């Protein structure tokens, strides 16, 4: 049991560590200023940050970011967990936080196979839905969500992670039910989602977002085909998000350049939407939460000087590629703010568990300064 005295000592230690961290933080330039002539800089914000429960993280975001993405608050499961009932509190706090701090808010995400409530793909008797009913549910959701924030969201991830590694469309319930196994209907759910998002907020930018575009050329080609399909139908699509959940060993410079140049050549903006670098190098490389989590990516050597040096080098390499292609890149968003609240373990971000800037932060800073 903790005595009153130990509690006081622990609290004091936390306060002192926090004060030291924020002092260290105060001395460094803001990333959004360093990159202001090149692209927006942002981060994914979680519930604790936007509701005032993580002031250390909020301070970092306020200082360094001019854009932010809702990490979980705008997913279907979070917003619309029961049929016809919405829970807006955290999403509203996210938008308000962005507005208070002059960050362009990005809505994430309207149509995804993951983090969807169980009722979505079934009728009241538990049977699979027809194409028409699922399209109607999708329309209702998009009109309700995008409509609520009309004029306040810079851009929406309209469809998230619809592709397989080989570039074909993932056999999600969206594809199976709305596509009905017919080749000429395979893009219908994507097309419909983009059309309704545009109808609900004609000023908002609309994006397709996926992981692995930088490590599988076939998947990147699949994204280009998807963009071209929408363009051929006269459907608005402004950009493609390369999530970029990287590791110390991937992506290669060539793979990243292939993705940026192929997508830009298709006539869309390119954004890095979920940047982090896992330090644990074994195993699966993708970003499917069903296959990796904090535990499976824990890294006993995360804090070692050698690991931090390699992390800094990988960030420097990635930023040198992004700066080289800056005419095609509009935004770079980190997937989180500091290591303690990342969705993966190890040491994936620029700030450590005590909110202090790491060697990787300074590597990104100097990449940006070289190019100013």
In terms of Cβ atoms closer than 10 Å to its own Cβ (0-12, 13-18, 19+), residue 352 is buried
The residue ranges of DSSP E strands in 54-113, in sequence order, are 67-70, 104-111
* Of the residues 274, 299, 339, 359, which one makes contact with ligand G3I according to CB under 6 A: 274
Q: Which one of 161, 191, 205, 214 is the catalytic residue?
A: 161
Q: How far is the CB of 188 from ligand G3I (least distance, A)?
A: 23
- Least distance CB 289 / ligand G3I (angstroms): 4
Q: Closest-CB residue for ligand G3I?
A: 343
- Contact between 53 and ligand G3I (CB under 6 A)? no
Q: Is the dihedral of CA 291, 249, 165, 204 positive or negative?
A: positive
Q: At closest approach, how far in Å is the CB of 163 from ligand G3I?
A: 13
Of 14-22, 67-75, 181-189, 221-229, which segment contacts ligand G3I by CB under 6 A? 67-75
* Contact residue for ligand G3I among 192, 243, 247, 279 (CB under 6 A): 243
Strand residue runs (E) in 79-137: 104-111
- Shortest distance, CB of residue 273 to ligand G3I, whole angstroms? 8
Per the annotation, the verdict on 62 as an active-site residue is no
**CB neighbour class for 81 (10 Å; exposed up to 12, middle 13-18, buried from 19):** middle
Enclosing H/E stretch for 223:
helix 217-232
Stretches 71-79, 89-97, 180-188, 223-231: which one binds ligand G3I (CB under 6 A)?
71-79
Residue choice 66, 67, 72, 216 for contact with ligand G3I (CB under 6 A): 72
Spatial separation of the C-alpha atoms in residues 266 and 161, rounded to whole Å: 19
Interacting residues with ligand G3I between 306 and 365 (CB under 6 A):
343
What residue has token string 């306060």? 15
Q: Which of 10, 171, 289, 304 binds ligand G3I (CB under 6 A)?
A: 289
- How far apart, in Å, do the first and last CA atoms of the chain sit? 54
Is 115 among the residues that bind ligand G3I (CB under 6 A)? yes
Tokens representing 269 are 């903006």
3 state SS for 139-161: HHHHHHHHHHCCCCCCEEEEEEC
Cβ proximity to ligand G3I: between 71 and 359 the closer is 71
Of residues 112 and 258, the one with the C-beta less far from ligand G3I: 112
Question: Which one among 106, 190, 197, 287 touches ligand G3I, defined by CB under 6 A?
Answer: 287
- Whether 254 sits among the annotated catalytic residues: the reply is no
Question: Which is nearest to 348 in space by CA: 219, 242, 243?
Answer: 243
Quote the strand ranges of the chain, DSSP E: 40-45, 67-70, 104-111, 155-160, 205-210, 239-242, 245-247, 269-278, 329-334
109/135 with CB nearer ligand G3I? 109
- Choose between 179 and 241: whose C-beta lies nearer to ligand G3I: 241
Q: Which of 71, 191, 205, 274 is catalytic?
A: 274
Residues annotated as catalytic (active site), given as ranges: 161, 274
Please report, as ranges, the residues that interact with ligand G3I according to CB under 6 A: 71-72, 75, 114-115, 160, 211, 243, 274, 287, 289, 343
């Amino acid at each position: 049991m903790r005595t009153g005295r130990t509690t006081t000592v622990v609290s004091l230690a936390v306060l002192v560590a926090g004060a030291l961290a924020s002092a260290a933080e105060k001395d460094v330039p803001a990333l959004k200023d360093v990159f202001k002539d090149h692209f927006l800089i942002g981060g994914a914000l979680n519930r604790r940050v936007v509701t005032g429960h993580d002031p250390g993280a909020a301070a970092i975001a306020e200082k360094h970011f001019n854009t932010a993405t809702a990490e979980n608050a705008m997913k279907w499961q979070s917003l619309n967990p029961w049929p016809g009932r919405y829970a807006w509190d955290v999403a509203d706090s996210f938008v308000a936080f962005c507005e208070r701090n002059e960050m362009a808010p990005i809505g994430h995400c309207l149509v995804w196979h993951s983090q969807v409530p169980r009722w979505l793909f079934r009728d009241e008797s538990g049977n699979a839905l027809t194409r028409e009913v699922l399209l109607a549910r999708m329309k209702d959701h998009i009109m309700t969500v995008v409509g609520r924030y009309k004029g306040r969201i810079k851009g929406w991830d309209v469809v998230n992670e619809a592709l397989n590694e080989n570039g074909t469309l993932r056999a999600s319930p969206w594809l199976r039910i709305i596509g009905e196994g017919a080749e000429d209907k395979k893009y219908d759910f994507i097309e419909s989602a983009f059309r309704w998002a545009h109808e609900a907020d004609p000023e908002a930018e609309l994006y397709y977002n996926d992981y692995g575009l930088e490590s599988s050329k076939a998947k990147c080609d699949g994204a280009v085909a998807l963009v071209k399909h929408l363009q051929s139908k006269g459907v608005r699509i402004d950009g493609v998000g390369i999530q970029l959940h990287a590791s110390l060993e991937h992506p290669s410079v060539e793979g990243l350049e292939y993705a940026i140049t192929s997508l830009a050549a298709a006539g869309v903006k390119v954004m890095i939407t979920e940047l982090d670098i896992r330090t644990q190098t074994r195993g699966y490389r993708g970003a499917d939460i069903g296959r990796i989590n904090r535990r499976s990516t824990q890294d006993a050597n995360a804090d070692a000087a050698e690991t931090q040096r390699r992390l800094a080098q990988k960030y420097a390499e990635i930023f040198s590629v992004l700066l080289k292609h800056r005419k095609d890149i509009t935004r770079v968003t980190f997937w989180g703010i500091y290591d303690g609240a990342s969705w993966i373990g190890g040491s994936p971000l620029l700030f450590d568990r005590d909110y202090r800037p790491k060697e990787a932060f300074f590597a990104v800073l100097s990449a940006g300064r070289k190019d100013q």
